[in-house]
Amino acid sequence: MPIIVRVPTQLRQLTAGVGEITLEAQTVGEALTALDVQYPGFGERLFDDAGALRRFVNVFLADEDVRFLEGLATPTPENSVISIVPAVAGGSI
Amino acid sequence: MSSVLGLRCRECDRQFPAEALHVCDFCFGPLEVSYDYDAIAAVTSRASIEAGPRTMWRYHSLLPVGNETPVSLGAGFTPLVRAERLGAELGLKDLWLKDDTANPTGSFKDRVVSVALTKARQLGFKVAACASTGNLANSVAAHAARAGMASVVLIPSNLEKAKVMMTTVYGGQVIAVDGNYDDVNRLCAELTSERPSWAFVNVNVRSYYAEGSKTLAFEIAEQLGWQVPDHVVVPIASGSQLTKIAKGFSELATVGLVDGDGSLRISGAQAQGCSPVATAFNKNIDAIAPVKPDTIAKSLAIGNPADGYYALAAIKNSGGGCGSVTDGEIIDAIKLLARTEGIFAETAGGVTVATLAQLAQRGVIDLNEKTVAIISGHGLKTVEALTGHVDPNHTIPATLDAFDAAVGFDDPLFN
């Protein structure tokens, strides 16, 4: 099913500057893997050697951190929007 | 002269130039300023610092802005007070408080914002922006006004009224977002990609901004007579302040201003309603699981702390501890601090003092240790939290009879 992946600035060098990629996937993990197939280089940046999301990579499905959902196995209904966001926070203290 | 060598990824060690970059473009690890410490040591002495302004900018040579004139409202060099009465209540014989409520906008955030906007101006930015739980918003709006920069501040829409007003009064753009801090922060992180000409103080200039917290360590050491304390207790939200305090003490030793920081222990303080670092510490695991915050300590309510890993490592490596306290304990601690030391702290200060009590009781803090607790913000910012907890003792008509009836002559307090 077609879904959208939003790519942050830091990774747009891999997509020739494109910030939104439309692709087909049933889960968050499939979407990120498909992204790596279409634009090689995403995989090594998003995943550690064990295949888990790197600790400073946050992935959101709509407005929810996928770590609060089913992680990479979280299903992605048609027209879902996945955002890849660097885990840099700030806030207060 | 600049002693800044560049930026370095804390995760994979890749090197970057000293520009408006905040994450490693390979692994998303946070970037940290690296310095030529020999160059700093060559121009920095206790005497040169003591001859400087009575603000955090007396440590200019240890901050990442070269010779740039600071954007300053006078932040820093806040009182370090010996807390004998609070210490007696908690059983701590050598307790000190770093009273950062005394900063220009009432919180330690003035330290980091002063560095961030100084750097932003140096890098040519005209707009200062941030995501904030309130204290940062206040400080960015005020410092931007001081610097003549435009400001855009994003806050969660449920923020305490005082914090909202203390931001809007400075005349910048204030955008209230429906959601919690993590939602606002994520929006801000995405906006950073879309508005590259804005300096998001805690995003794209975060590497510089965070360095401002080192001045807490510098001041504590100087105010103790160029001595590193035995134990420091620091509140944790993103974990940045704790991490940078550790770095600050370490730098003082590196450039020869103190004799060493080898025995310093650092402990963290969190609210139970948002305690991802304390949870990881107490379970003795390295992974920090994000949480959904639910606490009155909104300035600490970051469920997915960006520097949590480093704060956790700093605590563990130093042999410190990490506590978490309930909302009730936070309110009691705010009142205890006010009653014993005359300092009115916001909820984050309540978290720190309540955690201090907890760690003292558990024996994590030795009663003879020279211990410094960071009181990071002023109580006027979070008066809502005290509603119903600090009412007048009596409400009377304006007559002597009524007063005598309420406060009798036999009251031992008044004889």
Do B167 and B119 meet the contact criterion of CB atoms below 8 Å apart?
no
Fold of B80-106+211-386: Rossmann fold (3.40.50)
Spell out the domain ranges in chain B. Answer: 80-106+211-386
Q: Taking CB atoms and an 8 Å limit, are B305 and A89 in contact across chains?
A: yes
Question: How many alpha carbons fall within 13 Å on the CB side of residue A48?
Answer: 11
Fold of A2-86: Ubiquitin-like (UB roll) (3.10.20)
CB count, 10 Å around CB of B196? 12
Token match 């309130």: residue? B134
The pLDDT, as a whole number, for residue B261 is 67
Average pLDDT, chain B: 94
Cα–Cα separations (whole angstroms), residue B88 to A24, B79, B149, B172, B335: 65, 20, 47, 45, 15
Spell out the domain ranges in chain A. Answer: 2-86
What does pTM read for this prediction?
A: 0.90
pLDDT-derived band at B415 (thresholds 50, 70, 90) equals: low
What's the average model confidence in pLDDT over A54-82? 90
The pLDDT, as a whole number, for residue A63 is 83
Burial of B316 (0-12, 13-18, 19+ CB in 10 A): middle
Q: Using CA atoms, how far apart are residues B171 and B386, in angstroms rounded to an integer?
A: 28
Looking at beta carbons, which residues of chain A come within 8 Å of B307? Answer: 89
Which of residues B261 and B249 earns the better pLDDT score? B249
Cα–Cα separations (whole angstroms), residue B324 to A37, B58, B136, B275, B389: 44, 34, 23, 6, 21
Looking at beta carbons, which residues of chain A come within 8 Å of B28? Answer: 10, 45, 54, 56-57, 86-88
Q: Using CA atoms, how far apart are residues A5 and A32, in angstroms rounded to an integer?
A: 8
Q: Using CA atoms, how far apart are residues B188 and B190, in angstroms rounded to an integer?
A: 5
pLDDT, tens digit, 9 for 90 and up, residues A10-19: 889 899 999 9
Q: Using CA atoms, how far apart are residues B362 and B354, in angstroms rounded to an integer?
A: 12
Burial of B284 (0-12, 13-18, 19+ CB in 10 A): exposed
The pLDDT, as a whole number, for residue B409 is 79
pLDDT value at A88 more than 70: no
Looking at beta carbons, which residues of chain B come within 8 Å of A69? Answer: none
Out of B132, B186, B302, the one facing A85 most closely (by C-beta) is: B186
The pLDDT, as a whole number, for residue A25 is 95
pLDDT value at A91 more than 80: no
Do A91 and A85 meet the contact criterion of CB atoms below 8 Å apart?
no
Asked which of A69-83, B83-97, B215-229 is least confident by mean pLDDT, the reply is: A69-83
The pLDDT, as a whole number, for residue B368 is 97
Q: Is B105 on the interface with A (CB under 8 A)?
A: no
Which of residues B409 and B79 earns the better pLDDT score? B79
The pLDDT, as a whole number, for residue B225 is 96
Interface of A with B (CB under 8 A): 6, 8-11, 13, 19, 45, 54-58, 60, 63, 65, 67-68, 83, 85-93
- To the nearest whole Å, the CA of A21 is away from the closest chain B CA by 15
Listed in sequence order, the residues at least 6 apart from B395 whose beta carbon sits closer than 8 Å to its beta carbon are: none
The pLDDT, as a whole number, for residue A67 is 85
b/e code B32-69 from CB counts within 10 Å (16+ = b)? bbbbebebbeeebeeeebeeeeebbbbbbbbbbbeeee
Q: Using CA atoms, how far apart are residues B77 and B244, in angstroms rounded to an integer?
A: 17
Q: Is B131 on the interface with A (CB under 8 A)?
A: yes
Out of B24, B108, B185, the one facing A90 most closely (by C-beta) is: B185
What's the average model confidence in pLDDT over A52-71? 88
Which of residues B409 and B361 earns the better pLDDT score? B361
Which is nearest to B88 in space by CA: B394, B350, B341?
B341
The pLDDT, as a whole number, for residue B414 is 65
Q: Is B143 on the interface with A (CB under 8 A)?
A: no
Q: Is the ipTM of this complex over 0.90?
A: no
pLDDT, tens digit, 9 for 90 and up, residues B286-316: 888 889 899 999 889 888 888 999 999 999 9
Q: Is B345 on the interface with A (CB under 8 A)?
A: no
pLDDT-derived band at A93 (thresholds 50, 70, 90) equals: very low
pLDDT, tens digit, 9 for 90 and up, residues B115-136: 999 999 999 999 999 988 789 9
Looking at beta carbons, which residues of chain B come within 8 Å of A58? Answer: 186, 304
Average pLDDT, chain A: 88
The pLDDT, as a whole number, for residue B163 is 82
pLDDT, tens digit, 9 for 90 and up, residues B7-60: 999 988 999 999 998 888 888 888 999 999 999 999 999 999 999 999 999 999
Q: Using CA atoms, how far apart are residues A34 and A51, in angstroms rounded to an integer?
A: 15
pLDDT, tens digit, 9 for 90 and up, residues B271-294: 999 999 999 999 998 888 889 899
The pLDDT, as a whole number, for residue B290 is 86
What's the average model confidence in pLDDT over B248-259? 96
Q: Using CA atoms, how far apart are residues B264 and B220, in angstroms rounded to an integer?
A: 12
Listed in sequence order, the residues at least 6 apart from B2 whose beta carbon sits closer than 8 Å to its beta carbon are: B18, B66, B67
Which is nearest to B268 in space by CA: B282, B289, B247?
B282
pLDDT value at A89 more than 60: no
Which of residues B39 and B160 earns the better pLDDT score? B39
Out of B11, B133, B190, the one facing A83 most closely (by C-beta) is: B190
Out of B28, B29, B238, the one facing A93 most closely (by C-beta) is: B238
The pLDDT, as a whole number, for residue A64 is 87
The pLDDT, as a whole number, for residue A92 is 39
